[in-house]
Structure 1
């Protein structure tokens, strides 16, 4: 069942990113004004961010099975809306709903942790996240490939069929999980925000992974521009480069097993250090014109980011199970905002300073993350030496 969860989450989240490779084609076909062309891809991400903030906390209140199935059904209907859209307004409405429905991936991930013994939780998170990340990394090259041969609607037709099939299977295999809570929806959303200042492990993992996700998005925003301009790589070549980067997702299952062994803190430090080194190597490779080392750096960078993500989710999902969905909502919403910031910074730094400016900014962020990690480790060691608890339990 975990393998199917991984497949479902990968297919679900991939829907958010298909349009990123098809902006020009969609905008031309639906007569989207030039000033709004960028919205073709961002509207789905806005929907996803909205659902994580406002709908994911419901995982602590209502039956997770019904919530996941309802969100997945929204995605299926939204894909049909995109497939048959004839104007920009219809496309934007359907694209926003597509992002709303993508929250089903996070609900299924959270539910899988409720169904798993604590000693196996990291392995399950790693397996599901491996599928999710693979879906993200394959989404852009797959969309580009199908568009080149069958037009931009082809990927949404394929996805509609896949999501309909997975929804059918999900309705049969997904067990119910009914949380015991007396909170209303508004109180749950408000308490989600309140968890951030009160739960130190949540803040720390948001800091680490938020920074890495910003770095990740800066890299993958600037890399296609570098490949096309500096190396003269074609669109197909850029897609192959992205496929190579997807190899980093293979680290997720291994990271889950490492987390279950209790090696979260040292693994976090190694991941942060590796990202720092890979930003330096990526910057040098781009400026010096070494495509092979740039590809290797991309794979290592992706792997390190995914490993740290598993460490973060293993930590967060190991806290109070009665607030698990809200912890995940706070964590993922912050990561989404950091990723969006990274995309903007990636474009801005590349336009104004080239690849060196983009990777220089990435390196600076990675250095701040490393310093923060060292500070946190030293603080926890002092607290342990003084007989205090370095990790206070989160409030219920």
Structure 2
């Protein structure tokens, strides 16, 4: 697989997935403009993630049925309209409908990941998946930086209008440069395709285990990143949106450091990588808990947490792609549904906990979820393939 094509996949994934995370550093602004209480403003993220989960079930499996190049370009073009709707919303209802549609269509990211895995040779699949999913995580994290800077410069609406322009450009690029490959299983009906996602969970133990790990690690990930804007924007810190968004750069550094996890999975070291990363995830909450006293401690914790989450995620994806080559889009859909459930759960739980127990309560919740993930891995690591 040409390196330029791998990088194109990574960039496209980053731009697409960023659309559902731009709102996280803007929650305080959205709460003020649309009259939403701070304790319930996490619903903006939760609605987006719930619709993202629906898209995973209803749209991503189409990658095993339809022409992937056209499917990807089409979803990106519809995303342009959804982003414009969010950027011009005048009521909370319009905002939530727009965000729901953005979440539904952002699953083009997972169609891209599955397509990249299908194009890669078996010996390089872990490396390719690692690079492409690094683009996903970096997009998630840099979304906060971009959103913060643009909001301070031109208001929060500029974030979504700017993204709509980028998605239009990327849709044209993908339509021109992606290979036009016919799917082997194009004879499946849509209903059979959806039912086969459920069948894969019954048949593949590795998918069940890795999906539960995805749910737990992305619950922890979302617990941090959804609620982080609240203590940073409040006294005594009172940071600007640009400064808050800059913490995404620290997270991106951690995500990049974990890019080699796919190569380790290619070498049969997926279980070891998972165990070390989950241990780091649990440890990361200690420095994060000191956010009110030291921003340097927060940066260390953010790097550790994002390194750990990305390492487990890349390992998960690399391992599930070793089974059922003809069903990679459906494997991706099944796995990522749990990712989305975890993200939605973490978003609504973290803002609610913050309202009642403050930042210490958020960190305790994050540590508890991380410990549960580590214990689950210990209980299920029967073989190198699980």
TM-score by length of 2: 0.89
For the aligned residue pairs, the C-alpha RMSD in angstroms reads 2.4
Q: Spell out, residue by residue over 1:75-134, the C-alpha distance to the aligned partner (whole angstroms, 9 max, x if none).
A: 122233334555555544443332222121111110011100011011111111111111
Give distance in 1, aligned partners of 2:374 and 2:93.
45
Please, which moves more after superposition, 353-362 or 100-109?
Answer: 353-362
Show the counterpart of 1:394: none
1:319 aligns with 2:319: no
Any conservation in 2 of the 1:71–1:100 contact (CA below 8 Å)? no
Give distance in 2, aligned partners of 1:217 and 1:89.
23
1:207 aligns with 2:212: yes
* Counterpart pick for 1:258 among 259, 264, 268: 264
Stretches of structure 1 lacking an aligned partner (at least 5 in a row) = 382-389, 392-396
Taking a change above 3 Å as real, the CA distance of residues 118 and 351 of structure 1, as seen in their structure-2 partners, is same
Structure 1 runs (4+) greater than 6 angstroms displaced: none
Of the two structures, which has the highest relative contact order with CA contacts closer than 8 Å and spacing of 6 or more?
2
1:363 aligns with 2:367: yes
Instruction: Give the deviation of 1:356 after TM superposition.
Output: 2.6
Show the counterpart of 1:384: none
Aligned runs of 1:1-396 on 2, under 5 Å? 1-23=5-27, 25=29, 32=34, 34=36, 40-85=44-89, 90-181=94-185, 182-229=187-234, 232-235=237-240, 236-283=242-289, 285-286=290-291, 289-377=293-381, 379-380=382-383
Stretches of structure 2 lacking an aligned partner (at least 5 in a row) = none
Instruction: Give the deviation of 1:352 after TM superposition.
Output: 2.5
Instruction: Give the deviation of 1:261 after TM superposition.
Output: 2.1
Instruction: Give the deviation of 1:149 after TM superposition.
Output: 1.8
Local SS of the residue matching 1:180? coil
Give distance in 2, aligned partners of 1:95 and 1:351.
23
Give distance in 2, aligned partners of 1:320 and 1:369.
26
Please, which moves more after superposition, 155-164 or 332-341?
Answer: 155-164
Instruction: Give the deviation of 1:293 after TM superposition.
Output: 2.0
Taking a change above 3 Å as real, the CA distance of residues 293 and 21 of structure 1, as seen in their structure-2 partners, is closer
Instruction: Give the deviation of 1:348 after TM superposition.
Output: 2.5
TM-score by length of 1: 0.87
Give distance in 1, aligned partners of 2:314 and 2:362.
26
Give distance in 2, aligned partners of 1:202 and 1:142.
34
Give distance in 1, aligned partners of 2:14 and 2:318.
19
* Alignment size in residue pairs: 378
Taking a change above 3 Å as real, the CA distance of residues 64 and 365 of structure 1, as seen in their structure-2 partners, is same
Any conservation in 1 of the 2:12–2:170 contact (CA below 8 Å)? yes
Give distance in 1, aligned partners of 2:357 and 2:117.
44
Any conservation in 2 of the 1:73–1:101 contact (CA below 8 Å)? no
Any conservation in 1 of the 2:10–2:136 contact (CA below 8 Å)? yes
Task: Name which one, 1 or 2, has greater alpha-carbon Rg.
Answer: 1
Please, which moves more after superposition, 62-71 or 332-341?
Answer: 62-71
